[in-house]
């Protein structure tokens, strides 16, 4: 009997968190350079566009009134006030992407990840989501990296370290943990998480084999 496999699958939503200074941004940017089939989540914000930024590519730029209206309607998976401006991730945008088979990477802080868990609990989107924590090799190495930036004074660095300690304690809330010691190795581990998630049976839509129930 001739058998064929031609199933489709939902996409994967990778939710990545980690303290400032861990190199998380460099990790996911490097991974995305090698995986053009993975989309980076475009957030909404109330801050004005900066030079060269394009609406819908860099951010979805909303007025404070538009943002508040969407927040009240429950349209955000997560949202936060950062330096007086609102930022948020649209639930429908993530749902539509994974339903179409698109893999998406979302960069949020620990509080944002907690909001997302609560919002998607028991939903189809939850079955497509992997929570990943990216941490430093040690607190000492984290401080070294923050100081190497040369852009913050000591008070700012100490505040970032204080926040990082609290965030690092949340690692067990995640499905996977990456210790960013050697960049290339960390990128490979993030790619491995994506590959494993793509093979998940919960993502499968329809039959795998036509002649097998």
In a domain, 211, yes or no: no
Say what the pLDDT of residue 5 is. 60
59 has which bridge partners?
55
3-class DSSP state for residue 37? coil
* 114 in a structural domain: yes
Examine the pLDDT at 112 and tell me if it is beyond 80.
yes
Over residues 143-197, the pLDDT tens digits come to 888 888 776 788 888 888 888 888 999 999 999 999 999 999 999 999 999 999 9
Residue 170 domain flag: yes
pLDDT at residue 78, rounded to an integer:
97
Q: Is residue 4 part of a domain?
A: no
Report yes or no on 213 lying in a domain. no
Interatomic CA distance for residues 160 and 147, integer angstroms: 11
Residue 107 — pLDDT band, cuts 50, 70, 90?
Answer: very high
Best CA proximity match to 47, nearest among 38, 60, 30 = 60
For the chain, give the percent of residues with pLDDT over 70: 95
- Check pLDDT > 60 for residue 117: yes
Is residue 91 in a domain?
yes
Q: The domain that contains 25 carries what CATH number?
A: 3.40.50.300
Report yes or no on 209 lying in a domain: no
Residue 122 pLDDT > 70, yes or no? yes
- Determine the 3-state secondary structure of 45 from DSSP: strand
What's the number of domains the chain is made of?
A: 1
Give pLDDT tens digits for 45-54: 999 999 999 9
| pTM of the predicted structure, to 2 decimals | 0.89
Q: Of all residues in the chain, what percent carry a pLDDT higher than 90? A: 77
pLDDT of residue 4 exceeding 60, the answer is no
Number of Cβ atoms within 10 Å of the Cβ of 195: 10
Mean pLDDT, the chain, whole residue set: 92
Domain region containing 186: 9-203
Q: Give the pLDDT confidence of 128-152 residue by residue, as tens digits.
A: 999 999 999 998 898 888 888 776 7
């Amino acid at each position: 009997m001739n058998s064929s496999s031609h199933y489709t699958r939902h996409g994967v939503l990778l939710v990545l968190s980690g303290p400032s200074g861990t190199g998380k941004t460099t990790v996911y940017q490097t991974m995305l350079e090698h995986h053009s089939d993975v989309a980076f989540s475009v957030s909404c914000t109330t801050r004005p566009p900066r030079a060269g930024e394009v609406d819908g590519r860099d951010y979805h730029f909303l007025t404070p009134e538009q943002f508040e209206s969407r927040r009240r309607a429950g349209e955000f998976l997560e949202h936060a006030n950062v330096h007086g401006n609102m930022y948020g991730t649209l639930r429908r945008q993530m749902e539509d992407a994974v339903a179409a088979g698109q893999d998406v990477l979302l960069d949020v802080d620990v509080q944002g990840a907690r909001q997302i868990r609560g919002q998607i609990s028991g939903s189809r989107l939850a079955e497509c989501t992997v929570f990943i924590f990216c941490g430093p090799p040690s607190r000492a190495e984290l401080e070294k990296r923050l100081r190497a930036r040369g852009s913050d004074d000591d008070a700012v660095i100490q505040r970032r370290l204080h926040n990082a300690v609290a965030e690092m304690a949340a690692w067990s809330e995640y499905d996977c943990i990456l210790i960013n010691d050697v960049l290339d190795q960390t990128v490979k581990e993030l790619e491995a998480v994506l590959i494993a998630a793509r093979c998940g049976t919960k993502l499968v839509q329809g039959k795998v084999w036509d002649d097998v129930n």
